[in-house]
Amino acid sequence: MKKNICIYEDQKHETLLPLVYLRPVYDLRCGILTLREKIKQQFLTSTLILHTRKSLHNSVQEKNPKLNVNFFADEDTLFINGRLLIDKAIAKEIKKIELNSVLISQDEVVAAYIDANHLKDVVSDKSDFPTFDNIDLTVKEAKAKLISYPWDLVNENGNQIRIDYNAIVKEVGLLKKYSFVEYTNKKEIFIAKEAKIDPFVHLDATYGPIYIGKNVHVNSHSLIQGPVFIGEGSTIKAHAAIYHDTSIGEYCKVGGEVEASIVHSFSNKQHDGFLGHAYLGSWVNLGASTNNSDLKNNYGNISVLIKGKNVDTKSQFVGLIMGDHSKTAINTMFNTGTIVGISCNVFGAGFPPRYIPSFSWGGSDFLRNYDIEKCIEVAKMVLPRRKQQLTQADEELLRVVYEATKNEKAKRV
3-state helix, strand, coil in the chain (%, to 5): 25, 25, 50
At residue 413, does pLDDT exceed 70?
A: no
Length of the chain: 413
Chain Cα centroid distance, residue 21 = 12
**Cα separation of 122 and 111, whole Å?**
13
Report pTM. Answer: 0.95
Q: Lowest mean pLDDT of 114-123, 172-181, 319-328, name the range.
A: 172-181
- Mean pLDDT (whole number) for 391-407: 95
In whole numbers, what is the pLDDT of the chain averaged over residues? 95
Nearest Cα to 7, choosing from 97, 85, 100, 120? 85
Task: Provide the pairing of β-strand 228-230 with 246-248.
Answer: parallel
Instruction: Set out the domains of the chain in order of their start, with CATH numbers.
Output: 4-147 (3.90.550.10), 151-347 (2.160.10.10)
**Cα separation of 368 and 391, whole Å?**
27
- Mean pLDDT (whole number) for 113-121: 94
At residue 246, does pLDDT exceed 50?
A: yes
Nearest Cα to 141, choosing from 81, 88, 101, 84? 101
At residue 108, does pLDDT exceed 80?
A: yes
Q: Can you give the C-alpha Rg of the chain in angstroms?
A: 21
